[in-house]
Chains A and B, each alone.
Chain A
Amino acid sequence: EVHLVESGGGLVQPGGSLRLSCSASGFTFSDYAMHWVRQTPGRGLEYISAISNNGDIIYYADSVKGRFTISRDNSKKTLYFQMSSLRTEDTAVYYCGTAGKYWGQGILVTVSS
């Protein structure tokens, strides 16, 4: 059975940093491009970052470019998302996933003083 489990979320002050992790099991992680998508309360899905299966292609939405960094460790079957210079508008539930069949359960990041 496939599992994607996000961790590392929580409450952080504006300007602070957090590192999200997404641990994968049940599928060949190294075969898949991976993605981060976020959702603010009552809003739609916002696609914010992607990394190819071997890490050679990386994408960021303008809303996070220069502040967030996506990476992966295929030996650990883990996806990472380093978030810095956080803003109140980054408050959201963050999902990791293949942008296809497999998605994590989501993790809440709250940026507030």
Chain B
Amino acid sequence: DVVLTQSPLSLPVTLGQPASISCRSSQSLVHSDGNTYLNWFQQRPGQSPRRLIYEVSNRDSGVPDRFSGSGSGTDFTLKISRVEAEDVGVYYCMQGTKWPFITFGQGTRLEIK
């Protein structure tokens, strides 16, 4: 199975400052169709997961443009340009390239310093 390793696991950030989360895959996530099915999810306390980014760098509708995704192959990054209070929660990367063998990263807990 593909293992996704996120770092850091805990991310204290000052309001207005940037934040970055890394997601490294044990295998290349490039699908045979040429796409890379690496998604990023946000889970606020008490809520369901919410997809922010799909296929590495595409923002879902309604997602603020302070969120961005990048990367390729096995290394991926989620960046928040200026953290706001509503960004508190846990962030997960998830690969769908190997469907049905989907995997999630362990999660990164973002908190306000």
- Interface residues of chain A, those whose CB is within 8 Å of chain B, are 33, 35, 37, 44-47, 50, 52, 57-59, 95, 97, 99-101, 103-106
Contact = CB atoms under 8 A, between A and B. Distances in A.
Interface stretch (B27-35, B76-84, B95-103): B95-103
- The 5 residue pairs across chains A and B that have the minimum distance between CB atoms: A59-B100, A44-B107, A50-B100, A103-B48, A45-B104
Given A35-B102, A44-B104, 12 more contacts: A44-B90, A44-B106, A45-B41, A45-B43, A50-B102, A57-B100, A59-B101, A95-B48, A97-B48, A97-B49, A99-B102, A106-B48
Interface string B26-66: 00000000000001010100001111001000001000000
Contact of B102 (A47, A52, A95, A104): A47
B92 interface: yes
Nearest to A106: B48
Interface of B: 39, 41, 43, 48-51, 54, 60, 90, 92, 94, 96, 99-107
A58 B104 CA distance: 18
Nearest to B61: A101
29 contacts: A33-B99, A33-B100, A35-B102, A37-B49, A37-B104, A44-B90, A44-B92, A44-B105, A44-B106, A45-B41, A45-B43, A45-B92, A45-B107, A46-B104, A47-B103, A50-B99, A50-B102, A52-B100, A58-B100, A95-B48, A95-B49, A99-B96, A99-B102, A100-B39, A100-B96, A103-B48, A103-B50, A104-B48, A105-B48
B35 to A, nearest CB: 13
B22 to A, nearest CB: 16
A100 B103 CA distance: 13
- Between A59, A99, A100, the greatest number of chain B beta carbons within 10 A of the residue's beta carbon is seen for A99
B60 A101 contact: yes
A84 to B, nearest CB: 21
Contacts of A101: 51, 54, 60
